[in-house]
Chain A
Amino acid sequence: MSELRELYQTTILDHNKSPRNFRVPEGANHAADGFNPLCGDKVKVHVKLEDGVVVDVGFEGSGCAISTASASMMTDAVKGRPVAEAEKLFERFHDLVTGDPLTEPEFDPEIGKLAVFAGVREFPMRVKCATLAWHTLRSAMEGSGEVAKTE
């Protein structure tokens, strides 16, 4: 059960129960759909971009605890950041959840609260749950309008 506690940290369970920014932000001007064909998770990320900065961000959809909490915490983490910074944060987050499960993740001051997702690396089947919202955010910011997929 200890690995499970690593995965389902209290913060993750909390964000799953009460997701933050679970809404369409007023004045949102970019959006994208994300879909995980493996489990049917669906997410839509809305972004309000102004001068290359994520002024506001929200999401809708349904998914597992990992994908819901990840979307919720992502919105908190990227709000107010320039697009380039948000992209960088995704890279760091990706490294965090796909790292070697046998090694402890290095302390990354930039990753902040998102460090609670480190437990995902023990569960390779769940990496896509954790990254779905991020892939979708990237599509939304790029404005490609394509459905983001985890496959």
Chain B
Amino acid sequence: MSSAAKQSHAFDLAQVRKEFPILDQQVHGKPLVFLDSAASSQKPRAVIDAMAEFQRRDYANIHRGVYQLSQRATNAFEAARERVRGFLGAAETREIIFTRGTTEAINLVAATFGRERVGPGDEVLITHMEHHSNIVPWQMLCREKGATLRVVPIDDRGVLDLEALDDLLGARTRILAVTHVSNALGTVNPIAEIVAMAHAKGVPVLVDGAQAAPHMAIDVQELGCDFYAFSSHKVFGPSGVGALYGRAEHLEAMPPYQGGGEMILSVTFDETIYADIPHKFEAGTPDITGVVGLGAALAWVEATGLDAIAEHEHALLAYGTEALSEVAGLRLIGTAPHKAGVLSFVLDSAHAHDIGTILDQEGVAVRTGHHCAQPVMDRFSVPATARASLAAYNDRSDIDALVRALHSVNEMFA
């Protein structure tokens, strides 16, 4: 467990809510009820201030100048990398690569590690509950290489079929890409167990942690995975930034993803010697302020306590599940016993899109649509769902407002 997870914290919900200035406003004359954190979370004052302060006082390009500002900026950037290492429980800081987000992190692995490893007739294994960002890069790779994309099925609750997974891990499987938490269903996958099954057959594992990072303590060494990706903007940091953890032995063997400045040791027209990891994978000037913001976000999460956040959200999820069961004609999509943060549902009376519009008029923000997981929608034979997703700052009054608004939907479409 990471150090953040070990500490126990008193969780002061009222205080947590106060730290998110955006929550204090009205929408259509009603108090804002924000239930779309799985799409992107809101930002605490600590993050907003850290980014503004950095731009005001310390900003310069990194890893270049000998002047003091550049040194300060470099220190702040590298301190964020160390914080990500701690957050993920990685052994070494050089195993952390900054990317534009989870999507770019997965594309990076597919385009380097994947491209070297996968050949004609090989197989890439994913699951039926993946986000498009953990489907399309592998589909593109398979198409390029003449390889086959195989898919592990899920059951009617949205639970991954581990027996089928074991069967599908075959002699030609070159990589397994699996989400830690499903964005459309909320299912938490038993990653450590899955990794053990894959490794027993010599298959490396990439974990899409975009939906897990805001909700639970992560330890990549305990999970045993080869790669782990997450996005800053879902864990209270700014958008446009994310991180990829990769085991050093993989990262060292992998070719670079993009060429350019920052990722080189020396360049002549005949040859380029690449920089050591992690810089080999960080071509060009990154989103420096964004990375500093991510560092501040993880500091906020650690100070608040991920275990306390998880406990609070779990109780709220149980409360929400119960409350929604009392709405006439409502069907939850995703009823796995182990879930995090997501209440996805359909109503008999109204299409998800109509639900979203009516809820908005009541000040309640939810996501409606296919959640970038069309295969999940197909699996449950629904065109779209409405999804209420929870974060540290949500409370029971948010759920109560959601339920009241859903009654309005039923009235209008009666």
Contacts and interface: CB of A to CB of B under 8 A. Distances in A.
Contact of A65 (B28, B351, B384): B351
A3 interface: yes
Contacts of B357: 4, 7, 123, 125-126
A41 B383 contact: yes
B412 A8 contact: yes
Interface in A48-79: 62-68
A102 interface: no
Contacts of B383: 39-42, 62-63
A7 B358 CA distance: 10
Interface residues of B, number: 19
A65 to B, nearest CB: 5
Interface stretch (B175-183, B191-199, B288-296, B368-376): B368-376
Contacts of A64: 350-354
Contacts of B374: 40
Nearest to B353: A64
B369 A65 contact: no
Nearest to B412: A8
B413 interface: yes
Contacts of A67: 353
B384 A40 contact: yes
Interface string B382-397: 0110000000000000
B361 interface: yes
Interface string A13-48: 100000000000000000000000011111000000
Given A39-B353, A64-B352, A4 B358 contact: yes
Contact of B353 (A4, A8, A13, A129): A129
A40 B413 contact: no
B366 to A, nearest CB: 13
Contacts of B412: 4, 8, 13
A4 B361 contact: yes
Contact of B377 (A1, A7, A38, A40): A40
B353 A41 contact: yes
A41 B383 CA distance: 7
A125 B369 CA distance: 13
Contacts of A3: 28, 361
A63 B358 contact: no
A123 B356 CA distance: 12
A3, A8, A39 — which one has the most chain B CB atoms within 10 A of its CB?
A39
B290 to A, nearest CB: 27
A4 B362 CA distance: 10
Interface in A120-151: 123, 125-126, 129
Contacts of A126: 353, 357
A13 B351 CA distance: 12
A7 B377 CA distance: 27
9 shortest A-B CB distances, which residue pairs?
Answer: A64-B353, A64-B351, A40-B383, A40-B384, A40-B370, A39-B353, A39-B369, A65-B354, A64-B354
Interface of A: 1, 3-4, 7-8, 13, 38-42, 62-68, 123, 125-126, 129
21 contacts: A1-B408, A3-B28, A3-B361, A8-B412, A13-B412, A39-B368, A39-B370, A39-B383, A40-B369, A40-B370, A40-B377, A40-B383, A41-B353, A62-B351, A62-B383, A63-B351, A65-B350, A65-B354, A66-B354, A67-B353, A68-B351
